[in-house]
């Protein structure tokens, strides 16, 4: 395991080692921001492709695919980011098409410092803390106070890990080229930059055995799994045709369509989760109630701005929860704005069969992207879940 952690450190920023920290009680409040609250118009930039530009996505599958047609990469636990540079202008775009530059000024500065003055890159913004990838520290950046963002950018600097080059330093679009050619160009691009602290090349391999090692031996450092990409495919913007993702554990991004009150005290008892079907209707598919008492007390204030919405437009919650007869039958519909990631153990019959574990908010994910594609017929690979509270 030490060997793998050293490899992670080798592609992350150097400097003072951050001490690890336990999960803080304010987890439920960090990043609880609606995706559209981060939406802004991008300034015009003179490049062959311009934001908002949907990045290529991956289809969730059960096993790492085999064969010579695949390239394997670690699935990072961070914010997907497409970076655009033209002369003295740098724009960072999230997967949902939101501007990210104000939240990661150190990445903007690092890209401006590069010798090439034009390019478009695809990658992942991550933060390493205490030898582990820290999504909590990424969520801390989604804050309106510029002074706080600037302070955190120095205390917990982010790293931009690159896995694709979409426009080269000559301004030529590479999206029509096969991945094998784009990867070769990306490696040359990175090599030309010299020593970098904030911009790194994400590792890749064509070895199935190496990909399987990543699935298991890098898990303790916070990796999500493995991404497999077809070597001969062009960059399919917004599509899932040429990429596969294999998750180490079962997680899903869900829309919070409402909540139930606790049986006593009037606090929030559980979040009601939803996914969009092919008709664009939001269906209730389960709940999450895994909140410590201090977190639970903060939930109602956090959810209050979204009360009075349409809630679920498809299948809606019925009476009291089938899993707990003590929980109140009352539930409050919400505007479908908030997205959270939950861990689950079984999905069938278009719903989670048991309660889920709340992991974190996902402000960079658009609610409409939360569909059944991520859960139907999928299973975890080589990892047995435990019900950690």
pLDDT over threshold 90, residue 197: no
Highest mean pLDDT among 13-22, 168-177, 258-267: 168-177
Catalytic residue among 17, 22, 59, 75: 75
Please, are residues 235 and 163 in contact by the beta-carbon 8 Å criterion? no
Q: What is the pLDDT of residue 295?
A: 84
| Mean pLDDT, residues 237-266 taken together | 89
276-313 pLDDT tens trace = 999 999 999 999 998 888 888 889 889 999 998 889 99
75 counts as catalytic:
yes
| Mean pLDDT, residues 365-369 taken together | 93
Comparing 14-23, 33-42, 133-142, 362-371, the range with the smallest average pLDDT is 14-23
151-179 pLDDT tens trace = 999 999 999 999 999 999 999 999 999 99
pLDDT over threshold 50, residue 340: yes
How many other CB atoms are there within 10 angstroms of residue 360's CB atom? Answer: 18
Q: Which of 122, 99, 104 is nearest to 36 (CA)?
A: 99
- CATH 2.40.50.140 matches 251-374: yes
* Residue spans per domain, the chain: 2-13+29-247, 251-374
Q: What is the pLDDT of residue 174?
A: 98
- What's the rounded Cα separation, in Å, for the pair 356 and 375? 13
pLDDT over threshold 70, residue 250: yes
Query: Within 13 Å and on the Cβ side, how many CA atoms surround 72?
Result: 20
Backbone angles phi, psi at 256, to 5 degrees: -85, 105
Percent of the residues in the chain that have a pLDDT greater than 70, as a whole number: 86
The architecture (CATH level 2) of 2-13+29-247 comes to 2-Layer Sandwich (3.30)
Element (H, E) at 199: strand 199-201
| Mean pLDDT, residues 327-339 taken together | 82
Give the 3-state secondary structure of residue 142. coil
Band (27; pLDDT cuts 50, 70, 90): low
Dihedral through CA 355, CA 358, CA 361, CA 366, nearest 10?
Answer: -30
Highest mean pLDDT among 81-95, 264-278, 319-333: 81-95
- What's the rounded Cα separation, in Å, for the pair 131 and 133? 7
Both structure tokens of 363: 């402000």
Q: What is the pLDDT of residue 379?
A: 34
Q: What is the pLDDT of residue 217?
A: 74
| Mean pLDDT, residues 240-248 taken together | 90
DSSP for 59-95, please give it: EE-SSPPPSTTEEEEEE-SSEEEEEEEETTEEEEEET
Does the pTM exceed 0.85?
A: no
Q: What is the pLDDT of residue 62?
A: 86
pLDDT over threshold 70, residue 380: no
Q: List C-alpha distances in Å: 185 to 32, 63, 118, 124, 170.
A: 38, 29, 14, 18, 12
How many other CB atoms are there within 10 angstroms of residue 361's CB atom? Answer: 23
Average pLDDT, whole number, for the chain? 85
């Amino acid at each position: 395991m030490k060997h793998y952690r050293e490899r992670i450190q080798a592609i992350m920023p150097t400097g003072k080692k951050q001490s690890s920290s336990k999960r803080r009680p304010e987890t439920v409040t960090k990043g609880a921001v609606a995706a559209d609250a981060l939406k802004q118009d991008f300034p015009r930039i003179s490049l062959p492709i311009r934001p908002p530009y949907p990045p290529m996505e991956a289809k969730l599958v059960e096993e790492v695919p085999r064969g010579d047609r695949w390239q394997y990469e670690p699935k990072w636990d961070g914010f997907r980011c497409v970076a655009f540079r033209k002369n003295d202008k740098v724009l960072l775009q999230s997967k949902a098409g939101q501007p990210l530059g104000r939240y990661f000024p150190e990445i903007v500065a690092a890209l401006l410092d590069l010798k090439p003055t034009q390019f478009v890159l695809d990658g992942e913004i991550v933060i390493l803390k205490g030898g582990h990838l820290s999504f909590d520290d990424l969520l801390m950046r989604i804050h309106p106070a510029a002074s706080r963002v600037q302070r955190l950018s120095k205390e917990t600097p982010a790293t931009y890990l690159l896995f694709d080059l979409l426009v080269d330093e000559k301004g030529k679009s590479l999206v029509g080229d096969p991945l094998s050619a784009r990867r070769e160009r990306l490696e040359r691009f990175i090599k030309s930059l010299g020593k970098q602290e904030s911009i790194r090349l994400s590792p890749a391999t064509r070895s199935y055995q190496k990909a399987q090692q990543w699935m298991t031996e890098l898990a303790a450092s916070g990796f999500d799994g493995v991404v497999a990409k077809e070597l001969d495919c062009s960059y399919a913007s917004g599509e899932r045709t040429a990429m596969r993702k294999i998750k180490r554990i079962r997680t899903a991004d869900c829309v919070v369509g409402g909540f139930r009150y606790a049986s006593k005290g009037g606090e929030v008892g559980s979040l009601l989760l939803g996914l969009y079907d092919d008709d664009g209707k939001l269906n209730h598919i389960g709940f999450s109630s895994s909140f410590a008492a201090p977190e639970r007390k903060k939930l109602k204030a956090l959810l209050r701005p979204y009360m009075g919405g349409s809630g679920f437009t498809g299948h809606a919650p019925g009476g009291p929860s089938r899993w707990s007869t003590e929980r109140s039958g009352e539930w409050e519909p919400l505007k479908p704005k908030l997205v959270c990631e939950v861990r689950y153990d079984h999905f069938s019959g278009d719903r989670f069969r048991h309660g889920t574990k709340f992991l974190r908010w996902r402000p960079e994910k658009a609610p409409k992207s939360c569909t059944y594609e991520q859960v139907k017929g999928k299973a975890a690979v080589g990892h047995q879940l435990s019900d950690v509270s």
